[in-house]
Structures are given as C-alpha cells and as structure tokens.
A = this chain, B = another copy of it.
Amino acid sequence: MVQIPKPPAPSRTAQRPVPTSADVARLAGVSRATVSYVLNNTAAVRISEPTRRRVHEAAKELGYVPHAAARSLRAGHRRMVLMPAPAVPAGPLYSAFIYELQWALHRLDYTVVQYGGVGLAGDEAARAWAELRPVAVLVPGTGLGPEGVALLRRSGARAVVTLGPDAVEGAHALLMDHESVGHCAGAHLYARGRRRIGVVVPEEGGLDVFSRPRLAGVRRALHGTAATVTELPLAYTEESAARLAARWGDLGLDAAFAYNDEYAMLLMRALQDEGVAVPADTAVIGADDLLLGRLLRPRLSTVRIELPSGRDLAELVDRAVRDPGGEPERHKVLGASVVQRDST
C-alpha cells in the first residue's frame, strides 16, 4: 500500500462561513421570501425581471447554492432514486448493469444515489435511507422486510422496488431466482453424462446470497437421479485452487459447476496444472458468460444470466413513482440458459 503520511498539527485558520439566503437577500436588497421565490422558480408569485436578475447575480457573487434539503422538506428529493451500494465488491456483470440503469434513469431525469451499504442491515438501513427522502428506493438482495418497506413508504418514497429471490409485501418485486442458474448447470452436466458433480461455493463473504441458491438449484436438477452433488469451498486464490485440485483424484468427481466464470477459470487452470484433462476427465461450467470464458482453452461452457434491462427497470421505477398507490408489480426477471462450448 502507498502510505499517506500524516501532517504534524492542525492549523487554526477558520473556514469562511457558508452564505445563506439572508445574505443573498441583503446584497440584492430584497426580502428572503423573494430570494426563495426566484431561486425556486415559484410560478405562483410574480416577480419583475430586473429583480430576478438582481437575485441571481447576488447568489452568484456570494456563491450561494440553494439547499436541496430545504426543498426536500416540502417535497422530498423528487428525482432521487436511492440504492444501497453493493455489500461486496461488484463483479463485472453487476457493474455493467448498475451503469446501464444509471443511464436509463438519467434519461428519465432521475439521479441514482448509492448509499454506503456496509454495516447496515434491515430496518436500520431502511431508516437511514428514509432520512434522505428519496422518491424511490431500489433494493437488491435480501434483508428488507415489510416493516422496512412500510417505513420507506411512510417517509415519502413513492416506490420501493426489490431485486431478489422473494417478493416483499408493499414493494414492487423483480424476482431474481439464482436457483435457476444452478438448475441449468446441473441439468446440463447430467445430460452430458456426468454423475459425480462438484459445486464450487466461494469462501469470500457476501456471495452466499447467490451461491447458496445456485447450489440448491444443482441439487434440485439432480433430485431423484443416481448423481451425487459435492460442495466444494474455494477461495479466489491460486493457492486455494491448487489445494482443491491436489485432492481431485480422491474426490472422484467427473464435473464441476464453478459458481461463475472467474472461479471456473481459476479451477480449470489448477486442474490442468494437476494433469486433469478438461473436459475428458472433468467437465467444467461457469456462469455469467464473461468474455474471458471464450478466451480460455478449452473454451468455457457457461450459464448466461440475463438481468433485466436497465431501461425496463428505469421505466418500472418511473411508472411506480407516477402511481404510488398502484398494485405492486411482480416480474420474474432472471433468465438463465446454458451456452455450451468446449469445457463440458
């Protein structure tokens, strides 16, 4: 790590005071109410053009910024869509999704604010979000319950949308069922004649919300068959992968579903270094359909996951904001399908 040295002792210089609307009023020679009418573009009050100009010039000279909080006291942040920031470093698929969503909401004149998610959970989190008075809240993952939703609605959020495995009362739900990802992978490996199937479960914290249902999906796909499912904890390091590959012979597996393409790449390399032939000895399949999977040899089979389009999601948010009393919508939005290449 690059160190940032600490300077010796704090100086005692004072900060310039923050200009207020009273300062603007004084400089422009008008009342505070007039300043407020002009800067908030209140249509109901007639103010002459020269006065408007004087107020704007005074505000500019002083560097006065109208306070969003003052406006939000009346109306809430009418264009702010709040999302908790991801509680784990975002992967490439999710980063691209958030980016696209941000653009789509921007085109509809909303601004996405991502609220630092670490160390906050459940209703405590909902309370913190509510304090910012967003017009809509978009919550990926699990953890928000009906009480949290109600609290957000009472605080003025016109829409709460969850993205997760289950619907929550009072909120719109985009149902993302990661079980289907595992089910796809399991069914594919079975159809390819594999019967002793390992499932990589990342040891990195915070991924359980995805890895557990994926594992359950593999089990469901193989339920009632003679195939076995073996859980394989794996950290995202070469050492962990080498340790797993070293006991591959003892495990007696003929296939692995590796959670996603990055873990698949890690596992496949370790198996190859150990002399395990892919796919002859062991088939390997990932998920996410990242470009890197196509660059590997053998080319990596994968489960392509289709997230909802940012544009569709932005339109749902906008619909919900315009009709806050409407019946909550429920949509299944996670598409999962196998892309077979050369590793299975």
Contacts and interface: CB of A to CB of B under 8 A. Distances in A.
Interface size class of A (residues with CB under 8 A): 35 or more
A22 interface: no
B265 A292 contact: yes
Contacts of A319: 6-7, 10
Contacts of A85: 102, 112, 114
Contact of A4 (B113, B132, B174, B323): B174
Interface stretch (A42-50, A249-257, A274-282, A302-310): A302-310
Interface in A1-32: 1-7, 10-16, 18-19
Q: Which of A294, A319, A326 has the most CB of B within 10 A?
A: A326
Contact of A291 (B11, B95, B154, B237): B237
Interface stretch (A68-76, A181-189, A214-222, A225-233): A68-76
Interface string A76-117: 000000000110111110011011001101100001111111
Nearest to A10: B323
A128 interface: yes
A339 interface: no
Contacts of A91: 95
A67 B116 contact: no
A63 B319 CA distance: 25
Contact of A308 (B1, B6, B262, B313): B1
A266 B295 contact: yes
A150 interface: yes
B113 A265 contact: no
Contacts of A329: 4, 7
Interface of A: 1-7, 10-16, 18-19, 62-70, 72-73, 85-86, 88-92, 95-96, 98-99, 102-103, 105-106, 111-119, 127-128, 130-133, 150-151, 153-156, 158, 174, 236-238, 262, 265-266, 269, 291-292, 294-295, 306-309, 312-313, 315-316, 319, 322-327, 329, 331-335
